[in-house]
Structure 1
Amino acid sequence: MSYFRTALLLAAMTALFMGIGFLIGGQSGMVIAFLIAAAMNVFSYWNSDKMVLRMHHAIEAHEHQAPELFHMVRQLAANAGLPMPKVYLIDNPQPNAFATGRNPQNAAVAATTGLLDTLSAEEVAAVMAHELAHVKNHDTLIMTITATLAGAISMLANFAFFFGGNRDNNNPLGFIGVLLAMIVAPLAAMLVQMAISRTREYAADRMGAEICGNPMWLASALAKIAGGAARIPNEDAERNPATAHMFIINPLSGQRMDNLFSTHPNTENRIAALRDLAGHMAPAGAGGFAGTGLHEDRAPRTDPPGPWGRRERSDRHPPSRGPSKRGPWG
């Protein structure tokens, strides 16, 4: 079913490209737009995940760089019945995360340094479980291709500005067609983002809670991430708004309302759904996630922020001989 939805999305994007091409250059413009769309569809399938990671300056992390996060993701992936995804870190103070990849075998999860510095270990685990739920549901293919093509649609609108003054083109609607392309294309890019059903976030919340074993960990994480996203700008996301729907919380400023044009459900509604789930869900196993500091409490512990806090690390490890770098980079 996920591949069928992907095919429908790609067909819609192709039709949109052709329509804008027709408005800009008539039938010849439509043919050129179709060829461009076909090439981008193929390119996006294989490379959209890499492009999105580059857009946000994500750096692949190895186990020796972020052992706690690596162990956590490995444990959660095993719980979800998934292969171990690649782990990426984004040097960004805004707490946030996303998943990408065309299938579970080529998946990646990315977390910002702000997420690791702000959240407790339980909350980080819940966020990673949410992202793995997107991988398990095959949402990441649609999300990454949408991010790439939605940005391309916006770029196509810019072509209308340059070609609109050419009186020799075959645009049957003239300057009105150019104006339509310039106005409709950005709106269409926004509609494409909304086409990624917001119910996917609810489904990923529910499955993520099952993977990590405690809905309240994710509820607490969502509240902290939403608060951080409202206060801390994400410059890379602002420059690439077509990728906003990929994050667990909308990284763009001024987009917190649960209205027709929002790419995410209202955070309070998501938290309420998780609280309701917690009332019907059996407690996590007695062992929790061994080695990550996770337990089966109903709410996150009040440890230092993030699994990288100095006090938390000093409680479990002997002091190091030299100065250590702060965060998962050291």
Structure 2
Amino acid sequence: MIELIDRSGKRLAGPVGFEVQLTEDGHLAVTDIVTSQWQKPDLYIHLYVLLTHLSVSLGGIFLFIFLRKDPNNLFKKQILIASCTLVFTIIIATDRAVSGSYSSWAVEWLSYELDVSAISLQRVLSASNHLLGLVSSVIWTLVFLEVARRVPRKTMQKTPHLFTLRRALQEFLKLQINQIVFIVIFLNLFFFLYLAYRTPIFIAALVSASASIIIMTSYSTWRIRREAIEVLSEDHPIVRAFIRKLADAGHNPQIKEVYLISREKWPLPNAFVIGVWPKQTIVGVTEPLLENFGAEEVMAVLFHEYGHYSEKHTTIFAAFWALIIPLYIIFAVNLDKWLESFLSNEVVLGFLSSWLKPLGFLLSGILFLMLMRWLERRADLFAKRLGYGAALGDALAKIADITGQPSKLPRWIEWLSTHPSADRRKESLS
């Protein structure tokens, strides 16, 4: 190998070298092996992920500091940090696109300045990725815990022991474990079907996603039944009035029990419906809702939840994710092949490949949020048709006030939420 050095004796651009081979006709063939080393995609990806982790970590640090000093205007601060992270990502993606390959001027510059080979630099970047990824997770865990502790200010004043750092950490770990279990179930089923039975990717992903959703939902339903401190049946006056009102309106009430969740398990006023198919679906309310709200307001909330059940919203929700996951996998796997079929410019290919995949993921998230807001509006209308629109609007406003949620949000922020703002919902219910 021949190395190129400058006048000071420093190696130029990392591992510069040439491979010399004798051809069949007796000529010497000189091959530049630098290009092959720098075009390894792993090296660039390591740098890309490292810088992304760095930007996310810095964003988390700034948000945590803001929260500690002033918990107000949280949405504006989140948008500011997200915008900064987006700009940073644009710079990195543009660098990749302009380079025309997986090489990067940033990587080359690092190698030159540090006087290390591509392999050594790759190892350093890989180790740094793991370390900074861990740091980023810790930072955003602290942000999550701080938000969880600060948002429900009025409830926290009444029951401060339910909003400790320890409790917030427990809830966070439960959420992470549920996500990990879902991913493990999905990946195991997917690779089993795809590798063992040569199932097409879309079918394997569809079956795996559907099975994972059913398993996790069944577990959640079982846990709610197990943790409920009481099952409110027709003996309870509110449930009895709820069932009678549904029957008078021409509905055949299929849900005649409401599961009551203790304040210790769920300290905020809330109600929910969970299940994939109707026979599995259950409705639950929390103690703070039942104790602090009037009978009309509680019934209005129950009618809202029954609207989800009546119109099979939980089934629609499950079907959406069961379909969107395999569609995105197909999109991500085949994107480069599709682009190469009608584009030949490497710069354009690199740019589109860098951006279309995350944009596809972002689009699926936007579609999910749109679906959730539509389902919420449909459930609101169900309660309104039964004559409980005003009571539901009052209950929603009270819940927003107790939990510290903004009652009115700009339209563009509502696009980032699963629920319309309380004021907007109250207007549509009046």
Task: Please give the TM-score of this superposition, normalised by the length of structure 2.
Answer: 0.39
Q: Which of the two has higher C-alpha Rg? A: 2
Q: What TM-score does the superposition give when structure 1 sets the normalisation length?
A: 0.49
Structure number with greater CO (CA < 8 Å, separation at least 6) is: 1
